[in-house]
Amino acid sequence: MAATDLDKASTERAVATSVDPAEVPSAAWGWSGESRKTFRIAGWVVVVALLGMTIGNHQGHVEDIFLISLAGLMALIMIVDSLTQRMPK
């Protein structure tokens, strides 16, 4: 007999999470939360991309000031976040 939505197959594992699937729908299929490492890598990629945009044929350097300051702000936020994450609570 094939498994249906109402009759679970005996080979399926129950997902044990401490998150209520009603609040977080993705918890029902086994994933819930954030990947800090992925967000940090993406943040550093964005910082490098912003600094890479300063290379070009700019007549005035107002764009460069905004790009460098935004990249510096993002880098500062990520550094503070990584330092505060290491501190014991």
Is the overall model pTM greater than 0.75, yes or no? Answer: no
pLDDT digits (tens, 9 = 90+) for 35-66: 788 889 999 999 999 999 999 887 888 999 99
Mean pLDDT of 11-40: 67
- For residues 82 and 41, membership in a common domain is answered with yes
Q: How many helical (H) and strand (E) elements, i.e. helices and strands, does the chain have?
A: 2, 0
Supply the DSSP string of 50-82, one letter for each residue: HHHTTSS--SSSHHHHHHHHHHHHHHHHHHHHH
**Total structural domains in the chain?**
2
Write the CA distances from 80 to 5, 14, 62, 85, integer angstroms: 47, 38, 27, 8
* Residue 1: domain span: 1-33
- For residues 48 and 72, membership in a common domain is answered with yes
- For residues 26 and 68, membership in a common domain is answered with no
- For residues 40 and 81, membership in a common domain is answered with yes
Separation CA 77–CA 71 (nearest Å): 10
- For residues 14 and 40, membership in a common domain is answered with no
- For residues 21 and 60, membership in a common domain is answered with no
- For residues 48 and 7, membership in a common domain is answered with no
- For residues 45 and 79, membership in a common domain is answered with yes
Sign of the torsion formed by the C-alpha atoms of 77, 82, 88 and 89: positive
